[in-house]
Amino acid sequence: MGNFQSLMDGFSVALTYQHVFIMVAGVLLGLVVGVLPGLGAPNGVSLLLPLTFTMDPVSAIILLTSMYWGALFGGSTTSILFNIPGEPSSVATTFDGYPMAQSGQAGRALTLAFASAGFGALAGVLVITLLSGWMAGFAMKFGPAEFFAVYFIAFAGFIGMSSGAPFKTVVSMGLGFALAAVGMDTVSGASRLTFEFDNLIGGISFLIAVIGLFGFGELLLTIEEGARFQGVRAKLRLRDIMATLVELPRYWKDLLRSSAIGCWMGITPGGPTAASFMSYGIARRMSGNRDSFGKGAPQGIVSPETADHSAGSCALLPMLALGIPGSATAAVMMGGLMIWGLSPGPMLFVERPDFVWGLIASMYMGNVIAVVLVLATVPFFAAMLRIPFNIIGPIIVVVCLTGALTVANKEFDIYMALAFGVIGYVFKKLDYPLAPLVLAMVLGDKAEDAFRQAMIASDGSMSVFWSNSLVTTMMLVGLGLLSLPLFGLLRRRKAAPAPMVEQSA
Amino acid sequence: MFNTRFAMEAATALFTALLGLVICVGSARHGISWNEQGPEAGFFPFYIGCMVLIGSAVNLAQAVLARRRLTGHFIESGRVRDVAAFFAAIVVFAVLVSLLGLYVGIALYLPAVTLWKARLRPARAVLLGLGAALFFYVCFEYAFKLPLPKGPLLNLFGLY
């Protein structure tokens, strides 16, 4: 089918020495970022973004996505060895990963995790390959009202599916929209919400917000928790790796089921974190040996890892095809695309197929490279974590602050990032979700433009959002999602722990 | 008294409510109704501001209703100092960067905090600071070709 040919073309774009080098570098950087606290995937991608301005978009996006895979893998390393999730999406891996490592099987736990993760990621990329052309074609029929409806679904999904207080998500999202509105309005030329501050006329960069919220904020949290990394020693011998790889196909049901869950949660605004929890819960319920979960059951590692990585991959599909990022990191990447002058959405497939398919092809290679690299370098990264946080912490501070400067070379941005850091710290402690804020900041202008254009086309009538079956269906889905919390209130949750849907992967 | 979860929940809700108000007022300046070209510039942000206000009100109400439950400390008393110290150091670092440029700032900040908190030996701390400053300098000036503020000290040496 047509997609296969496009994919082959994509490989020819992606398979250059330069790009492979970039993939290796990106994955290594991602591993560092995933393993260290204060440098999560969204933050890491934000820090790299300004450095990609001089690169061509294909190389740049390959770098960023490779870093993303690396970060996802790196997060699992600390979950298993230190019982400290490096990424929110690796929390579920601690449940069985750490006990298995503690019982002397660290190598097996790590290999199970990385191999399942690789499987999940590749499954996700396969889904992207198969569905993207269709989704983009579908979205070509979209007018401004339909686009607004899709954005509405995305935002409603975050509000509806967050397990915390929905109104905290509302506030978080609203603030994100407001931050996006600061600065010059493209339609009227007016300078909004700047209050005569010259520094704000150019707007507030989402990169600064992410560095502050996810960087400085995370660092403050880590200091508060008194980071002390005393973990299990890991020596990965080739023999153990091979033995575990042979063992893996035994869990084919978990692998397939978790991939499916992950793909679904990635495409809809569920996110890798929710996917990993859901997959763990279902695996436990469906296994014959429920009690062995939590004590080092192999399925307890395979299921969340597969789901989390397939969700991470699939979150990029709506980002590419519709312009709707399904996670904070995807939102940052999308922001990057916009800065490079590309506009994600169906037109991207038509105007720049080399970019899109080069990216998709690189995802296959990037994940394979990531699995190999992570297995090879795990002891190194584990050793790195033994450096006292009182030394690593300040180094990460320097990286974040320098990153803030690279965005626009403005000192003001540093203080802005610090302010966001405080907000991020307080918000995280009070369970205000941060991903909707980032999402709203990145999508805010586009959502507003779509709204305005729809309104102009309809002469100010809101009925444009109910004017045809497609847009009506989407609006209804969005409203349905918004009303989910009401059902949650009426129902009592069972003993299974409610997933902390932080969605910051 | 302020270090309770309830106090912080309430304070944050009030703070976001204030932000919502600021957003509404700021947008009202640009007109919040329709003109011939569609919604005015302030229309969208105004309703966002309302959204934030309503959300904050609900959060405040929920906090007040749950007051009995939210008695725990916001930051554990033993940790307040460490968190505050860490943050204060970063602020000082930021000021140093504003005054003396990025690289001098790094060379001063890293040794200072590692000496103070991590009890690193002075020689090693200074080495770390200088090494990091040099590393970043080479990285940005040569590898990425992204010039960053160098401050008066480096300007004296002819490096702009």
- Residues of A with CB below 8 A from B134's CB? none
Q: To which H or E segment does residue A275 belong?
A: helix A271-286
Quote the domain boundaries for residue B24. Answer: 5-65
Q: Is a pLDDT exceeding 70 seen at residue A501?
A: no
Interface list for B 102-141 with A (CB within 8 A): 102, 106, 109-110, 113-114, 117-118, 120, 128, 132, 136, 140
Question: Once rounded to an integer, what is the mean pLDDT over residues A378-405?
Answer: 84
Cβ atoms of A69 and A30 closer than 8 Å: yes
| Residue B14 sits in the same domain as residue B37 | yes
Which residue has tokens 């062995």?
A: A292
Q: Is the pLDDT of residue A472 over 70?
A: yes
Same domain? For B148 and B102 the reply is: yes
User: With bands split at pLDDT 50, 70 and 90, how would you rate the model's confidence at A488?
Assistant: low
Q: Answer yes or no: is B132 within a domain.
A: yes
Contact B76/A at CB under 8 A: yes
Distance from CA of B103 to the nearest CA of A (A): 10
What span, in angstroms and rounded, lies between the C-alpha atoms of A147 and A317? 16
Strand partners, A192: A183
Mark whether B52 and B108 lie in a shared domain: no
Note whether B57 and B96 are same-domain residues.
Answer: no
The reply to whether B38 and B82 lie within a common domain is: no
> Could you tell me which chain A residue has the CA closest to the CA of B48?
A174
Mean of per-residue pLDDT scores for chain A: 83
Measured CA to CA, the distance from residue A309 to residue A468 in angstroms comes to 36
Q: Report residue A265 CA to chain centroid gap.
A: 12
In Å, how far is A475's CA from the nearest CA of chain B?
18
* Closest CB from B12, B94, B140 relative to A418: B94
The arithmetic mean of pLDDT across residues A441-449, rounded, is: 84
Gap from B72 CA to chain A (nearest CA, Å):
12
Cα gap A299→A255, rounded to integer Å: 9
Contact A56, A71 (CB under 8 A): no
Query: Can you tell me the mean pLDDT for A165-174?
Result: 90
Domain assignment present for residue B70? The answer is no
**pLDDT per residue as tens digits for the range B47-98:** 899 999 999 999 999 989 888 887 788 888 788 888 999 999 999 999 999 8
- Contact (CB<8Å) A174/B148: no
Shared domain check, B82 and B148: yes
In a domain, B134, yes or no: yes
Q: Report the alpha-carbon distance of residue B142 to residue B11 in Å, rounded.
A: 47
% of chain B with per-residue pLDDT over 90? 25
Same domain, B89 and B121: yes
Whether residues B81 and B150 share a domain: the answer is yes
Tell me, yes or no, whether B60 and B82 share the same domain: no
Interface of A with B in 39-98 (CB under 8 A): 50-51, 54
Same domain, B84 and B127: yes
Is the predicted pLDDT of residue A260 greater than 60, yes or no?
Answer: yes
Cβ(B74)–Cβ(A220) below 8 Å = no
Measured between beta carbons, the chain B residues lying within 8 angstroms of A148 are: none
Residues B46 and B99 in one domain: no
Query: Is residue A25 less than 8 Å (CB to CB) from chain B?
Result: no
Average pLDDT over residues B112-124: 83
First to last CA, chain A: 33
Q: What is the pLDDT of residues A304-348, one digit of tens each?
A: 999 999 988 888 888 888 888 877 888 888 888 888 888 888 888
Q: Show which of B37, B65, B93 is a domain's final residue.
A: B65
Residue B72 inside a domain? The answer is no
pLDDT band per the 50, 70, 90 thresholds, residue A81: confident
pLDDT in tens, A135-144: 888 887 888 8
Q: What is the largest CA-CA distance in chain A?
A: 70
Would you call A402 and B102 a contact, using CB atoms and an 8 Å cutoff? yes
Mean pLDDT, residues A247-276: 84
φ and ψ at A448, to 5 degrees? Answer: -65, -40
Which residues of chain A does B89 touch, with a Cβ-Cβ cutoff of 8 Å? 394
pLDDT at position A51 over 90 = no
B116 lies in some domain: yes
Comparing A485 with A99, the larger pLDDT belongs to A99
Q: Which of B19, B26, B82 sits opposite A175 (nearest CB)?
A: B19
Q: Where are the alpha helices (DSSP H) in B101-150?
A: 102-116, 122-138
Strand partners, B73: B4
pTM: 0.82
What sign results for the dihedral spanned by CA atoms A343, A348, A351, A357? positive
Shortest CA distance from A453: residue in chain B: B38
Q: Contact A459/A136 with Cβ under 8 angstroms?
A: no
Residues whose CB is less than 8 angstroms from the CB of residue A56 and which lie 6 or more positions away in sequence, other chains included: none
B31 in the same domain as B58: yes
Based on the structure, what is the number of domains in chain B? 2
